Structure 1
Amino acid sequence: MGTLDNRVAVVTGAGRGIGRAHALLLASEGASVVVNDLGGDNTGEGADAGPAQEVVAEITAAGGRAVANGDDVSDWAGAARVVRSAVDAFGGLDIVVNNAGILRDAFLASLDERQWDAVIGVHLKGHAAVLHHAAAYWKAEAKAGRPRAASVINTASASGTFMPNAGQANYGAAKAGIAALTQVAAVELERYGVRVNCIAPVARTRLTLATPGMGAIFAAEVPEGGFDGFAPENISPLVAYLAQEKCPLNGQVFAVQGGAISLLKGWTAEATIQADGPWRLDDLAERVPGLAG
């Protein structure tokens, strides 16, 4: 008996890296899995059905249930087909793991519109599009008297939450938006029995290996028998836990790397200054710097 028996999952970007690890673990815990992956390169160019099909083959060879889907989550209609593929293949949908992502790094002065749009499209719009179609399905199920104790796990990043990275304005903005989207969706979808949480993983993937200044860190050799703190598989147990029907958490964002999990909190008011009337510029010049310590 697995912890996810009789649950149906969609994992986007599941052909490689962290998404692949998610799909394999969810399937090993009993979930039926839609393995979504367009199969493009790091920048999102091209398409290849091979990676998703290979993950499906791994799952079925181990006795699990899975189907491949090659739709582009940044396309609204494509995201609808991702959700529909779960319902058509397995009769429902209980788990959505939004994981698909690309990189087009550039410093702001040289960042062009296409680089911005592509990254925002796959990450932020891709999350929102899949969430929209899944939410519409869960709403309809609830109204028909068939509520599903569903779970969404979104994917933010250290970049955009607690570790801003120069050259990743598009990526960081998208990931910060995903963390905010998670909290809004958690409030909206709770009425249908749906929980929405988010992870900010740090692991070795095609994208992190290609990040300037970071690739060498992630590529460092691990001593034989040692713990590989950057292995993608370290991320997936938290996802599997959040995907469980009885998990009580909603609207949370967790950083996860190796054996460490941290709860992240968003913008908070750390200090406040108050005036008795309208602010004057000389007052602001005197008092605002103190807010920043």
Structure 2
Amino acid sequence: MVIVTGAGRGIGRDHALEFARQGARVVVNDLGTGPGGEGASGGPALEVVAEIEALGGQAVANCDDVSDWGGAARLVKTAVSAYGRLDVLVNNAGFVRDRMLVSMTEQEWDDVVRVHLKGHFLPLRHAAAYWRESAKAGERVTGRVINTSSGAGLLGSVGQANYSAAKAGIAALTQVAAAELGRYGVTVNAIAPAARTRMTEEVFAATMARPESGFDPMDPANIAPLVVWLGSEGAGHVTGRVFEVEGGSIALATGWRHGERAERGARWDPAAVGEAVAGLLAAAPSPEPVYGT
């Protein structure tokens, strides 16, 4: 039994459809907002439910706001009430409000961080509570969480400070949740996908041309197979990881690691710090460039 948030369109829709093709029962969550988070409609979620049913699968729609405590709680309850259990949570919902840092408003910052970062934490929080209680009751738990980070969160992206910060937070949240929830039989991983969606069409317009024939590397359906596998019992040995996925490519992203160290054995004098830092920089690999630079 699978929950997919933001499943009314784009990448989330293809997650929901692929899970259904593989025999999973799906809760299709979508608030039905516009690309910038405006408005709300139950139409997109209901349309995906209809698609799944046309495939012979089972699905229910949920239109709760995943960035609201009560909404996220109702989402998890919808899954358990409809199907008696919850096995997989795919956190995917989000939108963008892009602007250069010096022009970004407080509201644009708050809205994007709320929907992406808080909108990941709250469903995860309520799903984790459900799995913990199940484990304490002696049930065998094989919970799976797949979060959605971004290359912007791993490397940064010019004009997307709010989105990049939220997606970086999701990567860190994934690591913490994996460390905390493993004792209950739950794995937590994240993906950093690249595909043609409403959020990326303007940012990557130059590279989003649809091929006339053959394999389309920007098709959002390319992301779903990795997510479905991470949601399977066979992925139980993989947790706390972030995977970049695009077209036919899957890569394991490696984040911050302890690097070279300069040791003085006493408190540093400011005059000596510059030389020490120069040595550290010389020994370290060059950082990956920020997207857009």
What fraction of aligned residue pairs are identical, expressed as a percent?
57
- 2: distance between equivalents of 1:289 and 1:233? 46
TM-superposed deviation, 1:244: 0.4
Quote the residue 1:199 is aligned against.
191
Q: Are 1:138 and 1:147, in contact at CA under 8 Å, matched by a contact in 2?
A: no
Q: CA deviation at 1:227?
A: 1.2
Gaps of 5+ in 2: 283-293
Residue of structure 2 equivalent to 1:103? 96
> If the length of structure 1 is used for normalisation, what is the TM-score?
0.94
Q: Does the CA contact (< 8 Å) of 1:73 and 1:79 recur in 2?
A: yes
Instruction: Please give the alpha-carbon distance, in whole angstroms, between the structure 2 residues aligned to 1:40 and 1:100.
Output: 10
Given the alignment, which residue of 230, 238, 241 partners 1:242? 230
Summarize the alignment of residues 21-40 of structure 1 with structure 2, pairs less than 5 Å apart: 21-40=14-33
**Cα distance in 2, alignment partners of residues 52 and 129 from structure 1:** 20
Match of residue 11, structure 1, among 4, 25, 31? 4
Could you give the per-residue CA deviations for residues 228-261 of structure 1, whole angstroms, max 9, x where no partner exists? 1111011000001000012121111100001111
In 2: Cα distance, 1:270 partner to 1:276 partner: 18
Instruction: Spell out the pairing of 1:279-290 with structure 2 (5 A cutoff).
Output: 279-290=268-279
**Structure 1 partner of 2:206:** 216
Paired residue type of 1:185: A
Match of 2:288 in 1: none
2-structure distance, mates of 1:169, 1:147: 41
After TM superposition, which residue ranges in structure 1, 4 or more long, deviate above 2 angstroms? none
- Provide the residue aligned with 1:93 in structure 2: 86
Query: Quick one: which of 66, 78, 95 aligns to 2:59?
Result: 66
Residue in structure 1 matching 2:154, options 139, 143, 161: 161
Determine the C-alpha separation between the residues in 1 that align with 2:159 and 2:110: 15
* Cα drift, residue 223 of structure 1: 2.9
User: What CA distance in whole angstroms lies between the structure 2 residues aligned with 1:71 and 1:99?
Assistant: 14
Contact 1:36 1:70 in 2 (8 A): yes
Q: What SS class does the counterpart of residue 85 from structure 2 fall into?
A: coil
Name the amino acid aligned to 1:192.
Y
Q: CA deviation at 1:210?
A: 2.7
Counterpart position of 1:5 = none
Counterpart residue identity of residue 47, structure 1: A
1:138 aligns with 2:131: yes
> Can you list the C-alpha shifts for 1:105-155, whole angstroms capped at 9, x where unaligned?
111111111101100111000000000000010111111112321100000
Task: Determine the structure 1 residue equivalent to 2:285.
Answer: none
Cα deviation digits, residues 22-69 of structure 1 (max 9, x gap): 000001101100000000011111101111100000000110000000
CA positional deviation for 1:216: 2.5
- Equivalent residue letter for 1:258: G
Q: Which residue pairs with 2:291 in the alignment?
A: none
- Give the TM-score normalised by structure 2: 0.94
2:252 and 2:15 map into 1 onto residues whose CA distance is 20
- Which residue does the alignment assign to 1:4? none
- What is the distance in 2 between the residues matched to 1:90 and 1:167? 42
Q: Secondary structure at the match of 1:199?
A: strand
Distance 1:74 1:37 in 2: 12
Match of 2:169 among 174, 177, 191: 177
Moved more, 107-116 or 234-243: 107-116
Q: SS in structure 2 opposite 1:209?
A: coil
Question: Is 2:35 aligned against 1:42?
Answer: yes
Across the aligned residues of Structure 1 and Structure 2, the Cα RMSD in angstroms comes to: 0.9
CA distance in 1, matches of 2:126, 2:258: 35
- In the other structure, the counterpart of 1:251 is 240
Once the two structures are superposed, residues 87-114 of structure 1 have per-residue CA deviations (whole angstroms, 9 ceiling, x without a partner) of 0111110000000011011111111111
Offset of residue 281 of structure 1: 1.2
Q: Aligned partners of 1:97 and 1:243: how far apart in 2?
A: 8
